[in-house]
Amino acid sequence: MVLSKFTSKTALVEKIHSLQKLVGNTPLLRIKGVYDKPGIEIYAKLEWQQFGGSVKARPAFEIIKNAVEAGHLGDGRTLLDATSGNTGIAFASISAALGIPLTLCLPENASPERKRILKSLGAQIVFTSRFEGTDGSQEMARTLADQNPDLYFYADQYNNDSNWKAHVRGTSQEIWHQTAGRITHFVTGLGTTGTFTGTSVGLKNKNNSIATIALHPDNPMHGLEGWKHLETAKVPGIYRPNIADQDLEIDTLEAYEMIRTIAKTQGLLVSPSSAANLVGAVKVAENIDKGVIVTTFPDNAEKYSEVINHVFEA
């Protein structure tokens, strides 16, 4: 149901607060059997175990919450953004629960699962060129927002500070407590860059000696959906390159092989980006003698049937 213009801001805020307990607080899993070395511990946050089904629930919720509290959403105004999929699904889940209308600009080559989920949750989809990726989707969203300022609130996740700040307040604090402050290295891939930026800032606020490692796809035509090849793509405004103590490149085929390894050793079917993050964590582990390494598993494999079929048939 679309939010009635007679629904008070107070009532909407109350709905948001009741939903908040379902966002974040994801488990931290010790990874064993993938790369075992004395003095090294590797952990992964299972980020699909929250409302919205991925790590993107955190920034999506924070963006919506702050927009409602600032008076930018409500009274039937439509939430608008560009997405490669996961943030869109998080927006759609949260918007449906709150009764907020949603329009998403999405590359036309997004996976069939993503398209089906978004439509099922009631999102209106504007498809953009497959050749322009999320950069093209951002341009379309900006055009729609400029042409219809009274209709849309443009979330602009790539430039919205609520994105990375959600990880300062949530992800970094959870990791710190779950490792009892023992974390020495944080490793994750770059898409909107919100997870890396916010979690790194939050952890360094706790202990500035924690090493933060940013993972990049090794070429523009990579197969890691949601990741950006920043050398050739539009760099998100929220990115802080100076927060990275190290940058590593990840090969898509290594990530696909890691999907198989994780399934066999952990009993989990994860997404290519989750597997790529673990590849990065292992690369870090290979070059240190002692440490507690934490990465994120942004989502599981349920939205990647074509990739999963290819991986396990190979």
Claim to verify: residue 173 and residue 304 sit in the same structural domain:
yes
- Boundary residue ending a domain (154, 173, 205): 154
Whether residues 61 and 40 share a domain: the answer is no
Are both 269 and 125 inside the same structural domain? Answer: no
Q: Does a structural domain hold residue 3?
A: no
Which of 154, 181, 202 is the C-terminal boundary of a domain? Answer: 154
What are the residue ranges of helices labelled H in the chain?
Answer: 9-20, 57-69, 86-98, 112-120, 133-147, 161-169, 171-178, 194-206, 252-266, 272-286, 305-313
Residue 113 lies in a domain: yes
Token pair of 118 as six digits: 């978004």
Whether residue 134 sits in one domain with residue 254: no
- Pairing between β-strand 291-297 and β-strand 40-46 as defined by DSSP bridges: parallel
119: containing domain: 57-154
| Partners of 297 in beta bridges | 46
Q: Are residues 142 and 213 in the same domain?
A: no
Amino acid identity, position 35: Y
Could you give the strand order of the β-sheet that contains 102-107, starting from the edge strand earlier in sequence? 124-128, 102-107, 78-82, 152-154
Q: Which of 79, 299, 32 is nearest to 189 (CA)?
A: 299
My answer on whether 170 and 197 are in the same domain is: yes
Q: Are residues 210 and 275 in the same domain?
A: yes
Cα 68 to Cα 24, 26, 27, distances in angstroms: 20, 25, 29
pTM of the predicted model, to two decimals?
Answer: 0.93
**238 shares a domain with 108:** no
Are residues 61 and 25 part of one domain?
no
Q: Please, how many CA atoms are within 13 Å of residue 222, restricted to the half-sphere of its CB?
A: 30
Per-residue pLDDT of the chain (314 residues), as tens digits, is: 344 444 567 788 889 999 999 999 999 999 999 999 999 999 999 999 999 999 999 999 999 999 999 999 988 899 999 998 899 999 999 999 999 999 999 999 888 888 999 999 999 999 999 888 888 999 999 999 999 999 999 999 999 999 999 999 999 999 999 999 999 999 999 999 999 999 999 999 999 999 999 999 999 889 888 898 998 888 999 999 999 999 999 999 999 999 999 999 999 999 999 999 999 999 999 999 999 999 999 999 998 888 899 899 86
Count of the separate structural domains present in the chain: 2
Question: 85 in the Ramachandran plot: left (φ > 0), alpha (ψ -120 to 50) or beta?
Answer: left
Question: Rounded to whole angstroms, how far apart are CA atoms 92 and 181?
Answer: 35
Nearest Cα to 249, choosing from 227, 271, 226, 225? 227
> 30 and 143 share a domain?
no
- Do 45 and 96 share a domain, yes or no? no
- CATH code, domain with 139: 3.40.50.1100
